[in-house]
Structure 1
Amino acid sequence: MTEPGNTVPCGLGPALEAIGTGAYVADEQGCIVAVNSAAERLLGRPAAGLLGQDAHDLLHRGPHGEPLPTTQCGMRQAFHAGTPAHGDGDYFAGGDGAPMPVSWTITPYDLGEGRAGTLVVFHPPRPAPGAEEPPERPAATLTDFERLALLAETTTRLTSSLETEEILNRLTSLVLPRLADWVVIDLITERDEVWRTAVVQADGDTLTHQEDLEGPMPPVPEESPMPLSRALRGVASALAGPETYQGPPDAGIAVEQRRLFEATGIHSAAIAPMRGTREVLGALTLGRAKQQGRFTTADLPLIEDIARRAALALDNARLFQRQRAVAETMQNHLLPQMPPVPGLQMTVRYLPAPDASQVGGDWYDAFNLPDGATALAVGDVLGHDLEAAAGMAQLRNILRAYAWSQQEPPSRIVERLDEAVTSITDVAMATLVLCRLVRTDDDRWELSWTNAGHPPPLLVTRDGVAEYLTDGHGILLGTGLRAPRPDAAVVLPPGCTLVFYTDGLIEAPGRTLDEGLERLRQHAAALAHRLLPSFTDQLLRRTEPPGLDDVALLALRVPSWPAGSRS
């Protein structure tokens, strides 16, 4: 069961406050969904007067305060194009209605759950030209506004992903070719080994990985004064060039650095440590080969800031990946192997929700009973996280114990389970189908079951007739109500297939539950002739679960035999 999510990503407020100038985020329709205090102050408008409003209608104005048609609004056009853009000489309407000149930068922002948004950063324009400008500034030193815009874009783009490779790709596209024409990323693995993860060259807007320069690196010397070694120890950022590594190398890592400068033609580089919350994760190197101008010490604070924000994003990704690895291990132990049952074929599949912890409250089970029957179960505990998985394990183990020890119909077993749920488990609510499958004296298979608020099992004959087993339906577990639960029974047609599943297979945004059930029925009927493993895989492929919830699926097929004979 999918729990309701937030409409705005967690942590967006603090990220906007860190920008240091006016900033807000708009959704796909252009309505403001988040705003920082600097924007409230500059606009003279409280957040309550901004949130939920169409940003163009509320703020965008002409030089005399007149409403601005969308066809004449550069920001609106860039918003619809979905590309980063910058503008000067435009006007926002202040709280008093007077036009306020602004400079602005916008960039796409991922709101999560497949929703696209836009980040807008703005401030009053700089003094008119005439004020004296410094004759020269370092090539990578941007204006304060450009620096803030770059850092804001870095924060929003990097923190919206939990995949290491995606974070590194986004980091590369942020700094190339804006600050350099080469980027080198060295990461320290969880085994304290250094891996040159990315060496990327920018040729215009084309980015090319130099895979021959990537790979494992020698260990970092403890006392080495060389720039990369110091950065990987988290000591300091530094400037470097080919001459830095021309002397006798003090370690193998210096040899690799000399090779890097020779192969790339970099004439100037800035190297900054990538510090996470608990440890140094690696080093970021920006290099110039074809670009003119050398990096200076004035460039280092910006590059350090970018490296620090990248490290925080990578740190979050590592934590997520560790949790996912733990969850996958837990999942492998929680989901059982199917028991051998002479004459029956069984196959199972489990698809975790990709944005969750790779394990959740969806489960299946099958086990043999002392009297020779086979118990089958599929269920769903509220949530798709580790807590739901722990509750699922409790529920399944209690169900196994009751089913094994009590020679009773499925309805009575589930009644006992429901009585225990609120008292001795951490499960709030759950759905469940429990079945008992027995082989009769005439070599037929009889199924009896009870359904506690779960989607109904699907019966597919070998001729492609598919229907849901809707009898035996009662309320879900955990409500506190003690209503009697019904049983239902059916003799299974020879060669038929039974499909037990959880609601992640049939629920999708924009589709009703009835539509999902009909879609599943049609595809299952069309696949009736397939071998059971192929039937199961193709059913998952064709129904295209949206991935918003886990999917547990158990498919079972009884034997066929020619008319008038027995298997």
Structure 2
Amino acid sequence: MSEPSPGWQRVTGQSWQEFRDDGWIDAVHPDDRASVIERWSRALREVQPRFTHTYRLRLATGGYRHFAVDAAPVRDGDTVIEWIGTCRDVEQEWQDARRERLLARATAVTADTARPDEMLAALTAVIVPELADSCTSYLLPQALHRTPGTALTAERVAAVTRQGPAVPPPHHAEHLGPDSALVRAADLRRPVHAVFPPGSPPPDIAPPGSEPWLAPDANSVVLLPVVVDGTTAALVVACVSGDRPSLGQPEISLLQTLLERAHTPLSNALEYQRTRQVALALQHSLLTEPPDVPGLDIAVRYRPSNSAAEVGGDWYDSFVLRDGATVLTVGDVAGHDLPAAVTMGQLRNMLRGLTLDREEPTGDILRRLDASIQTLYLECTATCVLARIERPTPGRLQLHYSVAGHPPPLLVEADGTAHFLDEGRSPMLGLLPDTRHSTAVHPLPPSSTLLLYTDGLVERRNEDLTDGLDRLRRHASTAARRPLAPFCDELLAGMLTADNDDDTALVALRLSVP
């Protein structure tokens, strides 16, 4: 600089003695100085016809704003005698350009993302380092049934820092007390923002050692609740550290706009939770305790799928008829949604009524149920096993059963011999008009165990059904001498996997030792 500039002095607060020669560099943001010096030196060396550059200047009032310099050389023949130019405040233009750039990037990285955890992880990677030095995102799995002001369990699904993985890794549950700032943000359903000296957050934001989400040298933080249909479904924590300009309202507004992209998958996730909650309540209201029958031990089990998006139409039932026969049934309505669960309840009650209505073979009962389905539920299909245990003579038990498109019953004898009952088979219900459903009869040996189950117990992705059936036969044979309740629990433990994505229902009956 070779002559005073009142405008520069007014904006930066530097005196002429401070900014003359190369002193003006001291007013440039430390992170921008290297690029400014390099670009300006090259312009001088190459005598570029025009020099333009944008950088941050420290203001006399504090903080930094973006300015654009536009300069050109003044020549006397072939000699450059001076450079002259302007320096213009372009903070709003820079903010607008950054906003468009980040929104475009957010759109690109989330274009094919539907899961809320993946959506939040992608947005977190956009936020750092453009807007923050660290960012952590949480899903709130208990959002629908949590009372405000109580403790909160948050599932951390993303954690990114400018320097690398310095914060705890994602996919971890954090239990937050009711006095946590995160809980306060979730309950208020609006941002909680704080600016403070580096490494000295106020106690109401982060009591010492209590909050793993805050960087040690943070100078500002914003806790952003992601609100969907009036419910806080997720929380995002963004921090700025060291001498970087603290987070302000422009950054908070941009963060909120970015996180709006997660609204649809989070809304879907909440809807899945609501659907699952209603469906499970419906299912459990219908899955009654087995009857107490002399000489028979009956156990029932129901396991919902591990997927929050899957609610199925599996059912079981057991009851005693007026003639003393014991009825067992399991079934599965096609579909994995709330309508499937509702239809399941209707078919289960209809089958109860048809079975109690008259004493007839199990195949005839399924034929009437099939006709009812094809009349009342035109697009419904279902599978079912209906079993009736009779005492033809004292000391003997006989199984009458029918199987409509369902995995076959498994009979396990006292010595562990296990085999499937493959007779009495017919197509699934609701599939073909005027289907004949046959009835099979099989004796039940003393101390044997009869198992009825739905396909969630034996089906696995990318595996043939026969492999699952063989695995069930082996597990049942091994556990045959266990009491009936542990027998059922061992089957579930051995057969179901962590990624089980279908409901499982089973009914087990064992003949008591005389």
Name the TM tier (shorter chain). 0.5 to 0.7
8 A Cα contact 1:239 1:269, kept in partner: yes
Q: % of aligned pairs identical?
A: 33
- Tell me, yes or no, if the aligned pair for 1:464 and 1:528 is still in contact at 8 Å: yes
**Deviation per CA, 1:398-418, whole angstroms, max 9, x where unpaired?**
111121120111122112222
Q: Following TM superposition, by how much is the alpha carbon of 1:510 offset from its aligned partner in structure 2, in angstroms?
A: 2.3
Q: Does 1:538 align with 2:490?
A: yes
Partner of 1:205: 165
Give the distance between the partners of 1:479 and 1:211, measured in 2 at CA. 45
Question: What is the match of residue 363 of structure 1?
Answer: 315
The Cα of 1:332 is off from its aligned counterpart by 1.0
Q: Report what 1:276 is aligned to.
A: 227
Q: 1:313 to 1:259 in 2, by over 3 A?
A: farther
Question: Match for 2:196 among 228, 232, 242?
Answer: 242
Secondary structure of the structure 2 residue equivalent to 1:548: coil
Q: What is the root-mean-square deviation in Å for CA atoms of aligned residues?
A: 4.3
CA-to-partner distance for each residue in 1:199-241, whole Å, 9 max, x for gaps?
9896841314999994214999xxxxxxx9899464xx69641
Name the aligned partner's letter for residue 299 of structure 1: E
Looking at structure 2, the residues matched to 311 and 382 of structure 1 have their Cα atoms a distance apart, in angstroms, of 30
Distance 2:323 2:236 in 1: 66
Structure 1 residue aligned with 2:33: none
Residue 216 of structure 1 is matched in structure 2 by: 178
Cα deviation, residue 435, structure 1: 1.1
1:133 equivalenced with 2:133 (yes/no): no
Q: Name the amino acid aligned to 2:510.
A: R
Instruction: Give the gaps of 5 or more residues in structure 1.
Output: 1-129, 221-227, 247-253, 561-566
Output the CA distance in 2 between the equivalents of 1:464 and 1:520. Answer: 13
In the other structure, the counterpart of 1:372 is: 324
Alignment of 1:326-405 (within 5 A): 326-355=278-307, 359-405=311-357
Which amino acid counterpart does residue 196 of structure 2 have in structure 1?
P
- Assess if the C-alpha contact under 8 Å between 2:195 and 2:247 holds in 1: no
| Partner SS, residue 293 of structure 2 | coil
Whether contact under 8 Å (1:356, 1:384) holds in the other structure is no
Distance 2:127 2:446 in 1: 65
State how far apart, in whole Å, the 1-side matches of 2:490 and 2:139 are.
Answer: 42
State the one-letter code of the partner of 2:403: N
Deviations 1:260-309 (A, max 9, x none): 89996665325375453533738744223446443355534432223434
| C-alpha contact (below 8 Å) 1:504/1:550 kept by paired residues | yes
Residue 540 of structure 1 and its aligned partner are, at CA, apart by: 2.2
> 1:134 and 1:297, CA in 2 relative to 1: closer, same or farther beyond 3 A?
farther
Gaps of 5+ in 2: 1-49, 57-63, 67-93
Partners in 2 of 1:514 and 1:352 — Cα distance? 23
Q: 172-181 vs 477-486, which deviates more? A: 172-181
Q: 1:256 aligns with which of 204, 222, 236?
A: 204
| Cα gap change, 1:430 to 1:311, in 2 (>3 Å) | closer
Note the alpha carbon deviations across 1:526-564, whole angstroms, 9 max, x for none: 22122222221222222235623222111111123xxxx
Distance 2:358 2:277 in 1: 37
Alignment-derived partner of residue 424 in structure 1: 376
> Quick one: structure 1 residues 208 and 487, their matched pair in 2 at CA, closer, same or farther if it must change by over 3 Å?
closer
Distance 2:186 2:346 in 1: 50
**Matched residues in 1 for 2:468 and 2:484: separation?**
22
Q: Following the alignment from structure 2 to structure 1, what is the Cα–Cα distance between the partners of residues 148 and 426?
A: 55
Shift of 1:144: 6.8
Q: Residue type matched to 1:419 in 2? A: A
Q: For the residues of structure 2 that align with 1:231 and 1:505, how far apart are their CA atoms?
A: 41
Partner-residue secondary structure (3-state), 2:350: helix
1:494 positional shift: 1.0
Whether the 8 Å CA contact 2:273–2:308 is kept in 1: the answer is no
My pick for the range that moved more, 540-549 or 276-285, is 276-285
Aligned partner letter, 2:52: E
Cα deviation, residue 379, structure 1: 1.3
CA distance in 2, matches of 1:505, 1:542: 10
C-alpha deviation, 1:483, in angstroms = 4.0
Distance in 1, matches of 2:133 and 2:176, equals 19
Return closer, same or farther for 1:452/1:291 CA change in 2, 3 Å cut-off: farther
> Residue type of the partner of 1:530?
R
Question: Cα distance, 1:503 vs. partner?
Answer: 1.8
Shift in Å, 1:160: 1.1
- 2:500 match: secondary structure: coil
SS in 1 for 2:222: strand
Q: Distance in 1 between matches of 2:175 and 2:432?
A: 64
Q: Given the alignment of the two structures, is residue 160 of structure 1 paired with residue 115 of structure 2, yes or no?
A: yes
User: CA contact under 8 A between 2:103 and 2:258: conserved in structure 1?
Assistant: no
